[in-house]
Amino acid sequence: MSATMRAPAGAISLRQPYDPVAQTFHWLVVALLVVQYSTELVLPYLLPKTAEDGLVAWHLSVGPTILLVMLLRLAWRLTHPPPPPPADLPLALRLLSRATHWLFYAILIVLPLLGWTAASAFGAKVYLLGLLPLPALVAPNKPLAETVGGVHGAVALALLALIALHIAGALYHALIKRDGVVRRMLPGS
Protein backbone atom coordinates (compact mmCIF):
# COMPACT_ATOMS: atom_id res chain seq x y z
CA MET A 1 0.00 0.00 0.00
CA SER A 2 1.45 3.37 -0.87
CA ALA A 3 1.89 6.08 1.76
CA THR A 4 -0.78 8.15 0.04
CA MET A 5 -3.45 5.44 0.06
CA ARG A 6 -5.84 5.30 2.95
CA ALA A 7 -6.07 2.15 5.02
CA PRO A 8 -9.49 0.77 5.91
CA ALA A 9 -10.97 2.10 9.16
CA GLY A 10 -9.27 0.50 12.16
CA ALA A 11 -6.35 -0.81 10.11
CA ILE A 12 -2.79 0.30 10.62
CA SER A 13 -1.53 2.18 7.59
CA LEU A 14 2.01 2.67 6.40
CA ARG A 15 3.21 6.27 6.55
CA GLN A 16 6.41 7.80 5.21
CA PRO A 17 8.97 7.41 8.03
CA TYR A 18 11.32 10.04 9.40
CA ASP A 19 14.82 9.62 8.05
CA PRO A 20 17.33 7.67 10.20
CA VAL A 21 19.21 10.85 11.22
CA ALA A 22 16.02 12.50 12.51
CA GLN A 23 15.11 9.28 14.33
CA THR A 24 18.56 9.13 15.93
CA PHE A 25 18.36 12.74 17.08
CA HIS A 26 14.88 12.13 18.53
CA TRP A 27 15.84 9.05 20.54
CA LEU A 28 19.18 10.51 21.63
CA VAL A 29 17.39 13.55 23.06
CA VAL A 30 14.87 11.24 24.78
CA ALA A 31 17.74 9.29 26.39
CA LEU A 32 19.54 12.47 27.46
CA LEU A 33 16.34 13.86 28.97
CA VAL A 34 15.78 10.64 30.94
CA VAL A 35 19.30 11.00 32.33
CA GLN A 36 18.83 14.71 32.99
CA TYR A 37 15.53 14.41 34.85
CA SER A 38 16.82 11.37 36.73
CA THR A 39 19.88 13.23 37.98
CA GLU A 40 17.81 16.22 39.05
CA LEU A 41 14.53 14.78 40.28
CA VAL A 42 14.95 11.15 41.23
CA LEU A 43 18.47 10.10 42.12
CA PRO A 44 19.19 12.69 44.84
CA TYR A 45 16.34 11.16 46.86
CA LEU A 46 17.64 7.62 46.40
CA LEU A 47 21.33 8.21 46.98
CA PRO A 48 23.14 9.63 50.01
CA LYS A 49 23.85 13.37 50.07
CA THR A 50 27.53 12.77 49.29
CA ALA A 51 26.51 11.48 45.84
CA GLU A 52 24.74 14.75 44.98
CA ASP A 53 27.93 16.57 44.00
CA GLY A 54 28.61 13.94 41.36
CA LEU A 55 25.01 14.11 40.16
CA VAL A 56 25.17 17.89 39.87
CA ALA A 57 28.36 17.61 37.81
CA TRP A 58 26.66 15.02 35.62
CA HIS A 59 23.61 17.28 35.25
CA LEU A 60 25.86 20.21 34.30
CA SER A 61 27.48 18.03 31.64
CA VAL A 62 24.33 16.55 30.11
CA GLY A 63 22.64 19.95 29.69
CA PRO A 64 25.21 21.34 27.24
CA THR A 65 25.19 18.01 25.44
CA ILE A 66 21.44 18.40 24.93
CA LEU A 67 22.05 21.93 23.66
CA LEU A 68 24.61 20.67 21.12
CA VAL A 69 22.37 17.82 19.96
CA MET A 70 19.37 20.17 19.64
CA LEU A 71 21.34 22.67 17.57
CA LEU A 72 22.45 19.87 15.27
CA ARG A 73 18.90 18.52 15.21
CA LEU A 74 17.51 21.96 14.33
CA ALA A 75 20.02 22.33 11.49
CA TRP A 76 19.01 18.88 10.20
CA ARG A 77 15.30 19.70 10.51
CA LEU A 78 15.67 22.97 8.61
CA THR A 79 17.49 21.22 5.75
CA HIS A 80 15.52 17.94 5.76
CA PRO A 81 11.75 18.50 6.03
CA PRO A 82 9.82 15.87 7.99
CA PRO A 83 7.28 13.59 6.33
CA PRO A 84 3.86 15.18 5.87
CA PRO A 85 1.22 14.77 8.56
CA PRO A 86 -1.68 12.43 7.90
CA ALA A 87 -4.07 14.05 5.43
CA ASP A 88 -7.07 13.02 7.51
CA LEU A 89 -5.76 14.68 10.68
CA PRO A 90 -7.99 17.64 11.59
CA LEU A 91 -6.43 21.07 11.09
CA ALA A 92 -6.50 21.86 14.82
CA LEU A 93 -4.50 18.71 15.63
CA ARG A 94 -2.03 19.42 12.81
CA LEU A 95 -1.47 22.91 14.20
CA LEU A 96 -1.12 21.55 17.75
CA SER A 97 1.39 18.98 16.54
CA ARG A 98 3.43 21.58 14.68
CA ALA A 99 3.37 23.98 17.65
CA THR A 100 4.39 21.20 20.02
CA HIS A 101 7.37 20.23 17.88
CA TRP A 102 8.61 23.81 17.52
CA LEU A 103 8.13 24.38 21.26
CA PHE A 104 10.35 21.35 21.85
CA TYR A 105 13.10 22.96 19.78
CA ALA A 106 12.74 26.30 21.57
CA ILE A 107 12.61 24.87 25.09
CA LEU A 108 15.38 22.33 24.53
CA ILE A 109 17.68 25.11 23.35
CA VAL A 110 16.68 27.73 25.93
CA LEU A 111 16.61 25.35 28.91
CA PRO A 112 20.30 24.32 28.73
CA LEU A 113 21.29 27.97 28.18
CA LEU A 114 19.37 28.93 31.32
CA GLY A 115 21.05 26.12 33.25
CA TRP A 116 24.48 27.11 31.99
CA THR A 117 23.82 30.72 32.94
CA ALA A 118 22.60 29.75 36.42
CA ALA A 119 25.58 27.43 36.94
CA SER A 120 27.96 30.21 35.85
CA ALA A 121 26.30 32.64 38.23
CA PHE A 122 26.67 30.08 41.04
CA GLY A 123 30.37 29.75 40.11
CA ALA A 124 29.99 26.12 38.97
CA LYS A 125 31.97 24.67 36.08
CA VAL A 126 30.01 23.37 33.08
CA TYR A 127 31.35 20.73 30.69
CA LEU A 128 30.32 19.64 27.21
CA LEU A 129 30.09 15.87 26.88
CA GLY A 130 31.64 15.65 30.34
CA LEU A 131 35.06 16.47 28.88
CA LEU A 132 35.33 19.96 27.43
CA PRO A 133 35.11 22.80 29.98
CA LEU A 134 32.87 25.61 28.81
CA PRO A 135 33.36 29.28 29.63
CA ALA A 136 31.19 30.96 32.20
CA LEU A 137 28.36 32.90 30.60
CA VAL A 138 28.17 35.39 33.48
CA ALA A 139 30.25 36.32 36.51
CA PRO A 140 29.34 34.76 39.86
CA ASN A 141 26.27 36.50 41.23
CA LYS A 142 24.12 34.65 43.76
CA PRO A 143 20.90 36.68 43.28
CA LEU A 144 21.15 36.24 39.50
CA ALA A 145 21.93 32.55 39.97
CA GLU A 146 18.84 32.04 42.12
CA THR A 147 16.60 33.98 39.73
CA VAL A 148 17.84 32.25 36.57
CA GLY A 149 17.86 28.90 38.40
CA GLY A 150 14.21 29.44 39.32
CA VAL A 151 13.32 30.21 35.71
CA HIS A 152 15.31 27.14 34.63
CA GLY A 153 13.27 24.99 37.02
CA ALA A 154 9.97 26.45 35.81
CA VAL A 155 10.91 25.88 32.16
CA ALA A 156 11.96 22.30 33.04
CA LEU A 157 8.47 21.73 34.48
CA ALA A 158 6.91 23.23 31.35
CA LEU A 159 9.01 20.79 29.33
CA LEU A 160 7.56 17.90 31.35
CA ALA A 161 4.05 19.14 30.47
CA LEU A 162 5.03 19.34 26.81
CA ILE A 163 6.45 15.80 26.96
CA ALA A 164 3.16 14.60 28.46
CA LEU A 165 1.26 16.28 25.62
CA HIS A 166 3.59 14.67 23.06
CA ILE A 167 3.13 11.23 24.62
CA ALA A 168 -0.64 11.76 24.68
CA GLY A 169 -0.51 12.56 20.96
CA ALA A 170 1.53 9.44 20.29
CA LEU A 171 -0.94 7.33 22.26
CA TYR A 172 -3.84 8.92 20.36
CA HIS A 173 -2.25 7.90 17.06
CA ALA A 174 -1.24 4.43 18.28
CA LEU A 175 -4.33 3.38 20.22
CA ILE A 176 -7.25 5.41 18.87
CA LYS A 177 -6.47 6.30 15.26
CA ARG A 178 -4.18 3.30 14.71
CA ASP A 179 -2.77 5.15 11.72
CA GLY A 180 0.91 4.18 11.86
CA VAL A 181 2.13 7.69 12.66
CA VAL A 182 4.09 6.56 15.71
CA ARG A 183 5.99 3.93 13.72
CA ARG A 184 7.45 6.69 11.53
CA MET A 185 9.84 7.60 14.37
CA LEU A 186 10.80 4.03 15.25
CA PRO A 187 14.23 2.81 14.10
CA GLY A 188 14.03 0.49 11.14
CA SER A 189 10.73 1.92 9.89
What pLDDT is attached to residue 49? 62
Residue 97 burial (CB count, 10 A): 18
What pLDDT is attached to residue 7? 42
What pLDDT is attached to residue 30? 97
Q: Using one digit for the tens of pLDDT, what is the confidence trace for 123-145?
A: 999 999 888 999 999 999 999 99
CATH architecture of the domain with residue range 20-185: Up-down Bundle (1.20)
Q: Using one digit for the tens of pLDDT, what is the confidence trace for 168-184?
A: 999 999 999 888 888 98
What residues of the chain score a pLDDT lower than 70? 1-14, 43-44, 46-52
Whole-prediction pTM value? Answer: 0.86
CA distance 19 to 136: 36
What pLDDT is attached to residue 44? 67
Domain coordinates of the chain in residue numbers?
20-185
Q: Which long-range contacts (CB under 8 A, 24 or more apart) does 28-31 make?
A: 28/69, 29/66, 29/69, 29/70, 29/73, 29/108
Angle (CA) 78 83 89, round 5°: 120
Whether the Cβ atoms of residue 124 and residue 56 lie closer than 8 Å to each other? yes
What pLDDT is attached to residue 108? 98
CA distance 184 to 14: 8
What is the sign, positive or negative, of the torsion defined by CA atoms of 7, 10, 13, 18?
positive
Whether the Cβ atoms of residue 142 and residue 122 lie closer than 8 Å to each other? yes
What pLDDT is attached to residue 4? 40
What pLDDT is attached to residue 25? 97
